[in-house]
Structure 1
Amino acid sequence: MDALLIPFSLLWGGFAIFWEWVTLHGTPHSRAPHDSPILAPLWGVPFVLVGLYIIFGRFITDARMRANTIYGITNKRALILTGVIRTTLRGFDLRSLSDVSLSEHRGGTGTITFGSAASWAPWATFVTPSWPGMGGYARPSFDLIPEPRRVYETIREAQRKLG
C-alpha cells in the first residue's frame, strides 16, 4: 500500500505547499502577495495539513497505536486492547472465527488476521487504522507480532479444543 501512498502523498503535499508559496509570495511575473486575496492562502491550509499528515503524520500515528496495543489469547477468545486517546477492548470468539490467516514477514515478525475480507468493509484494505476513524473498519488482526507461527498454532490449537 505504501507503494501507492508515498508517491500520492508527495504529489499532494508538494502541490499544496507550492500553492501556499505562490499565494503568499507570488511568482517571478506577479507581485503577490498583494495580488492574492486572503481566501487563496486560507483555502490551501487544509490541503497542506492533510499533505503533512499523509507524508509524516500517519507514520507517527501508526507507531503510537502500535505502542499502545496489547494482544492476548485465552482458551476461548482472541483479545485486542488498544488505546491512544481512549482504551478499547475487542474480543473475538475463537469458535466462531472461521478464517484465521497468517502472514509472515522478514525479521521474524508476522500478522495474524481474523475473519474473511468479504465480511469487513471491502474498501478498508486501501486504508490503514492510522487514518483517523478507520480502525473500526479494518479486519481485526495481531499486527507485526514476534513469533507469529507460534501464536498462530496456539490459536488453531485452542480452536481444535473448542470443537
Structure 2
Amino acid sequence: MDNLFSDIIERNLLKEEKILWAGKPVVRKQSIHSNKLQVLGSIFCGIVLLFMLIVGVLFALLGLIFIGIGYYFMVGRFKIEREEKEKTLYAVTDKRILIFKVTKREEVVRKYINEIKNIDISISNDGIGTIRFGEIPLHTRMSDATGIKSTLDYFGEGIPTFYDIPDAKKVYELVNSLKNEM
C-alpha cells in the first residue's frame, strides 16, 4: 500500500479496529474474445461510416457523434475503468468493510459487517472475483450481463462491491466468518 492509502485508512479506522485484509482491484487487459461489446462497437462504427458515405455531408455531424459513442464502448470505458481501479483500495476490518477511492476528491464507503444481509460472489478461473455486500438490484443484475457497470454504480448509489479482487474466495470466506461470529 502506498502512503496515500495508508493515511486515508488511518484516518478512517475506528478505535481498536484492526485491518484483516486489504487489496486493490486487479487491472486486466481486455481482449476482444472476452468482451462482445467491443465487436458490436466496431460493427456499429462501420455501419455509421458507411451511412455517412451514402447520405453525404448533411449527416456528418450526427455520424461523428455516433462514432464517438462507439469509440467510448470500444476503448474509452476501459481507460476510465483502469484509472478508477488504480485509485481504489478495499479493506476488511474486524468490524467493517471499507472502500477507498481517491480521484479529485476522497471517497470512503463503509458498511458494518453485522449490517450485511447478503453476500454474493462471482469468481473467474484465475481466482479473481467480485464480491457484493447486499441484495443485488435488478439494474445491476441486468448490467452484469453486458460487462458494463450500471450507471448507478458509477455514482455510488449501488451496493458496496469489491470489483476484480485477487483471492476473492478467501475474502468472501473471511467476511462470511466475521458475519457469522456477530
TM-score range, shorter chain: 0.7 to 0.9
Report the residue type matching 1:15 in the other structure. I
Q: 1:16 offset after TM fit, Å?
A: 2.6
- Name the SS of the counterpart of 1:95 in structure 2: helix
Structure 1 residues 90, 54: closer, same or farther in 2, change over 3 A? same
1:6 to 38, 51, 57: 38
Deviations 1:127-158 (A, max 9, x none): 634x7664234443211211222211221222
TM-score normalised by L of structure 1: 0.73
1:124 to 140, 144, 159: 140
Report the residue type matching 1:59 in the other structure. F
Structure 1 residues 16, 134: closer, same or farther in 2, change over 3 A? farther
Distance in 1 separating the partners of 2:118 and 2:48: 42
Report the residue type matching 1:104 in the other structure. I
The answer on 1:153 being equivalent to 2:169 is no
Are 2:152 and 2:158, in contact at CA under 8 Å, matched by a contact in 1? no
Structure showing greater relative contact order (alpha-carbon pairs closer than 8 Å, 6 or more residues apart): 2
Structure 1 residues 83, 16: closer, same or farther in 2, change over 3 A? farther
1:99 to 108, 112, 118: 118
Structure of larger gyration radius: 1
Deviations 1:56-95 (A, max 9, x none): 1111111111111100111221111123443321111211
Q: Which runs of 5+ in 1 are unaligned?
A: none
Report the residue type matching 1:79 in the other structure. L
Are 1:100 and 1:115, in contact at CA under 8 Å, matched by a contact in 2? yes
Q: CA RMSD in A?
A: 2.5
The answer on 1:78 being equivalent to 2:78 is no
Distance in 1 separating the partners of 2:153 and 2:69: 16
Structure 1 residues 10, 70: closer, same or farther in 2, change over 3 A? same
Distance in 2 separating the partners of 1:4 and 1:137: 26
Structure 1 residues 18, 89: closer, same or farther in 2, change over 3 A? farther
2:87 corresponds to: 68
Are 2:127 and 2:169, in contact at CA under 8 Å, matched by a contact in 1? no
Distance in 1 separating the partners of 2:164 and 2:127: 9
Deviations 1:96-134 (A, max 9, x none): 1111122221222222111112xx3x22331634x7664
Report the residue type matching 1:43 in the other structure. L
TM-score normalised by L of structure 2: 0.67
2:108 corresponds to: 89
Could you list the structure 1 runs, at least 4 aligned residues long, displaced by more than 6 angstroms after superposition. Answer: none
- Name the SS of the counterpart of 2:114 in structure 1: coil
Identity %: 23
